[in-house]
Protein backbone atom coordinates (compact mmCIF):
# COMPACT_ATOMS: atom_id res chain seq x y z
CA UNK A 1 0.00 0.00 0.00
CA UNK A 2 1.30 3.46 -0.84
CA UNK A 3 2.32 5.56 2.18
CA UNK A 4 -0.12 8.42 1.56
CA UNK A 5 -3.01 6.00 1.18
CA UNK A 6 -1.93 4.21 4.38
CA UNK A 7 -1.77 7.56 6.19
CA UNK A 8 -5.26 8.44 4.95
CA UNK A 9 -6.54 5.06 6.13
CA UNK A 10 -5.08 5.65 9.62
CA UNK A 11 -6.49 9.20 9.61
CA UNK A 12 -9.95 7.85 8.71
CA UNK A 13 -9.84 5.15 11.41
CA UNK A 14 -8.67 7.57 14.10
CA UNK A 15 -10.38 10.71 12.79
CA UNK A 16 -11.63 11.84 16.23
CA UNK A 17 -8.08 11.63 17.61
CA UNK A 18 -6.17 13.60 14.95
CA UNK A 19 -7.18 17.23 15.52
CA UNK A 20 -5.82 19.71 18.04
CA UNK A 21 -2.36 19.66 19.57
CA UNK A 22 -1.08 16.08 19.83
CA UNK A 23 2.21 14.31 20.36
CA UNK A 24 3.10 11.62 17.83
CA UNK A 25 5.80 9.13 18.72
CA UNK A 26 7.84 6.71 16.64
CA UNK A 27 9.06 4.16 19.16
CA UNK A 28 11.19 1.04 19.18
CA UNK A 29 9.68 -0.78 22.17
CA UNK A 30 11.90 -2.39 24.80
CA UNK A 31 10.15 -5.72 24.43
CA UNK A 32 11.12 -5.63 20.75
CA UNK A 33 14.81 -4.90 21.39
CA UNK A 34 14.70 -1.11 21.89
CA UNK A 35 15.94 0.85 24.88
CA UNK A 36 13.27 2.32 27.16
CA UNK A 37 15.16 5.61 27.41
CA UNK A 38 16.33 5.57 23.79
CA UNK A 39 16.66 9.21 22.68
CA UNK A 40 16.50 7.98 19.08
CA UNK A 41 12.72 7.75 19.43
CA UNK A 42 11.03 10.40 17.34
CA UNK A 43 8.70 12.82 19.08
CA UNK A 44 6.82 15.45 17.12
CA UNK A 45 3.96 17.73 18.06
CA UNK A 46 1.11 18.31 15.62
CA UNK A 47 -1.08 21.42 15.68
CA UNK A 48 -4.00 20.19 13.58
CA UNK A 49 -5.17 17.37 11.31
CA UNK A 50 -3.07 18.49 8.35
CA UNK A 51 0.07 18.64 10.47
CA UNK A 52 -0.82 15.28 12.07
CA UNK A 53 -0.99 13.72 8.60
CA UNK A 54 2.40 15.21 7.57
CA UNK A 55 4.08 13.76 10.66
CA UNK A 56 2.31 10.45 10.20
CA UNK A 57 3.57 10.20 6.61
CA UNK A 58 7.14 10.97 7.70
CA UNK A 59 6.95 8.23 10.35
CA UNK A 60 5.48 5.73 7.88
CA UNK A 61 8.35 6.47 5.49
CA UNK A 62 10.86 5.74 8.27
CA UNK A 63 9.04 2.50 9.16
CA UNK A 64 9.02 1.39 5.53
CA UNK A 65 12.79 1.80 5.10
CA UNK A 66 13.96 0.69 8.54
CA UNK A 67 14.86 -2.76 9.82
CA UNK A 68 13.84 -1.59 13.30
CA UNK A 69 10.32 -2.69 14.32
CA UNK A 70 8.97 0.78 15.08
CA UNK A 71 5.47 1.59 16.28
CA UNK A 72 3.58 4.84 15.85
CA UNK A 73 1.65 6.20 18.82
CA UNK A 74 -0.35 9.34 19.49
CA UNK A 75 -1.89 10.72 22.66
CA UNK A 76 -5.55 9.85 23.06
CA UNK A 77 -6.31 13.34 24.39
CA UNK A 78 -5.50 16.60 22.62
CA UNK A 79 -3.22 18.85 24.63
CA UNK A 80 -3.71 22.43 25.82
CA UNK A 81 -0.66 24.55 24.96
CA UNK A 82 -1.43 27.25 27.56
CA UNK A 83 -1.65 24.67 30.35
CA UNK A 84 1.58 23.04 29.13
CA UNK A 85 3.36 26.42 29.06
CA UNK A 86 2.35 27.07 32.69
CA UNK A 87 3.61 23.62 33.68
CA UNK A 88 6.86 24.10 31.77
CA UNK A 89 7.46 27.48 33.43
CA UNK A 90 6.86 25.90 36.85
CA UNK A 91 9.39 23.14 36.14
CA UNK A 92 11.83 25.67 34.69
CA UNK A 93 11.63 27.81 37.85
CA UNK A 94 12.24 24.70 39.96
CA UNK A 95 15.37 24.05 37.89
CA UNK A 96 16.82 27.35 39.12
CA UNK A 97 17.33 25.64 42.48
CA UNK A 98 18.95 22.47 41.11
CA UNK A 99 22.65 21.81 41.56
CA UNK A 100 24.80 23.05 38.66
CA UNK A 101 24.98 19.71 36.79
CA UNK A 102 21.25 19.06 37.08
CA UNK A 103 20.44 22.60 36.01
CA UNK A 104 22.66 22.26 32.93
CA UNK A 105 21.11 18.87 32.16
CA UNK A 106 17.66 20.48 32.28
CA UNK A 107 18.57 22.98 29.56
CA UNK A 108 20.56 20.49 27.48
CA UNK A 109 17.47 18.28 27.39
CA UNK A 110 14.96 21.13 27.13
CA UNK A 111 12.95 19.65 24.23
CA UNK A 112 12.15 16.54 26.27
CA UNK A 113 11.27 18.75 29.28
CA UNK A 114 8.80 20.65 27.09
CA UNK A 115 7.27 17.41 25.81
CA UNK A 116 7.02 16.12 29.38
CA UNK A 117 5.12 19.27 30.39
CA UNK A 118 2.84 18.94 27.38
CA UNK A 119 2.08 15.31 28.24
CA UNK A 120 1.23 15.88 31.91
CA UNK A 121 -2.41 14.93 32.61
CA UNK A 122 -3.12 18.50 33.72
CA UNK A 123 -2.14 19.68 30.21
CA UNK A 124 -4.99 17.76 28.55
CA UNK A 125 -7.51 19.68 26.48
CA UNK A 126 -10.04 16.84 26.55
CA UNK A 127 -10.62 13.65 28.47
CA UNK A 128 -10.92 10.18 26.97
CA UNK A 129 -9.96 6.96 28.72
CA UNK A 130 -8.01 4.12 27.17
CA UNK A 131 -8.39 0.48 28.18
CA UNK A 132 -5.55 -1.78 27.05
CA UNK A 133 -6.84 -5.34 26.68
CA UNK A 134 -4.13 -7.98 26.20
CA UNK A 135 -4.75 -11.23 24.31
CA UNK A 136 -4.95 -13.20 27.57
CA UNK A 137 -7.71 -10.97 28.94
CA UNK A 138 -11.36 -11.80 28.33
CA UNK A 139 -12.48 -9.08 25.88
CA UNK A 140 -16.13 -10.18 25.98
CA UNK A 141 -16.24 -10.01 29.78
CA UNK A 142 -14.66 -6.53 29.72
CA UNK A 143 -17.12 -5.29 27.09
CA UNK A 144 -20.05 -6.81 29.02
CA UNK A 145 -18.98 -4.92 32.14
CA UNK A 146 -18.23 -1.76 30.17
CA UNK A 147 -21.65 -1.69 28.47
CA UNK A 148 -23.26 -1.09 31.90
CA UNK A 149 -20.95 1.88 32.48
CA UNK A 150 -20.86 3.60 29.08
CA UNK A 151 -22.34 2.82 25.70
CA UNK A 152 -19.98 5.12 23.84
CA UNK A 153 -16.69 3.49 23.02
CA UNK A 154 -14.30 2.96 20.14
CA UNK A 155 -12.52 -0.40 19.90
CA UNK A 156 -9.63 -1.40 17.65
CA UNK A 157 -7.17 -4.28 17.29
CA UNK A 158 -3.57 -3.85 18.46
CA UNK A 159 -0.56 -6.11 18.00
CA UNK A 160 -1.23 -8.00 21.24
CA UNK A 161 -4.91 -7.43 21.93
CA UNK A 162 -7.32 -4.51 21.80
CA UNK A 163 -7.59 -0.83 22.76
CA UNK A 164 -10.94 0.53 23.88
CA UNK A 165 -11.40 4.31 24.01
CA UNK A 166 -14.26 5.66 26.12
CA UNK A 167 -15.65 8.90 27.43
CA UNK A 168 -14.80 9.54 31.10
CA UNK A 169 -16.53 7.44 33.76
CA UNK A 170 -15.80 6.35 37.32
CA UNK A 171 -12.88 3.90 36.77
CA UNK A 172 -13.78 2.07 39.98
CA UNK A 173 -16.89 0.77 38.18
CA UNK A 174 -14.73 -1.30 35.81
CA UNK A 175 -13.39 -3.90 38.22
CA UNK A 176 -11.66 -6.41 35.94
CA UNK A 177 -9.08 -4.23 34.17
CA UNK A 178 -7.17 -0.99 34.70
CA UNK A 179 -8.24 2.21 32.95
CA UNK A 180 -5.63 4.63 31.59
CA UNK A 181 -6.95 8.16 31.94
CA UNK A 182 -4.47 9.65 29.47
CA UNK A 183 -3.02 6.83 27.37
CA UNK A 184 -1.35 6.46 23.99
CA UNK A 185 -3.13 5.20 20.89
CA UNK A 186 -1.26 2.60 18.88
CA UNK A 187 -1.71 3.80 15.30
CA UNK A 188 0.66 1.47 13.44
CA UNK A 189 2.93 -1.48 14.26
What does the pLDDT read at residue 151? Answer: 76
Reduced to 3 states (helix: H, G, I; strand: E, B; else coil), residue 88 is: helix
| Predicted pLDDT of residue 188 | 97
- What is the per-residue pLDDT for 40? 60
Q: What is the pLDDT of residue 106?
A: 96
Asked whether 93 and 56 are in contact (CB, 8 A), the reply is no
Write down the pLDDT at residue 162: 95
pLDDT value of position 28? 93
Write down the pLDDT at residue 53: 98
pLDDT value, residue 1? 74
Q: Which of 107, 157, 164, 154 is nearest to 132 (CA)?
A: 164
Residue-level pLDDT at 44? 97
> β-pairing, 71-75 with 42-46?
unpaired
Q: What is the mean pLDDT of each run of 10 residues along the chain (189 residues)?
A: 94 97 94 62 95 98 94 98 98 96 96 97 96 88 88 90 94 90 96
Q: What is the DSSP letter of 151?
A: S
CA distance 9 to 1: 10
pLDDT of residue 167: 92
Strands (E), the chain: 22-27, 42-46, 71-75, 129-134, 153-158, 161-166, 184-188
Amino acid sequence: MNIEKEADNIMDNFYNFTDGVRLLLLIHRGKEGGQNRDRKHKKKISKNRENFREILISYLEIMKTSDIPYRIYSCVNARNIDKAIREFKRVQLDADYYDTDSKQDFYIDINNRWISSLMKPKSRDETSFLIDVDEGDDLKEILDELIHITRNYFKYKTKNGWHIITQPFNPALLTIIKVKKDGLLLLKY
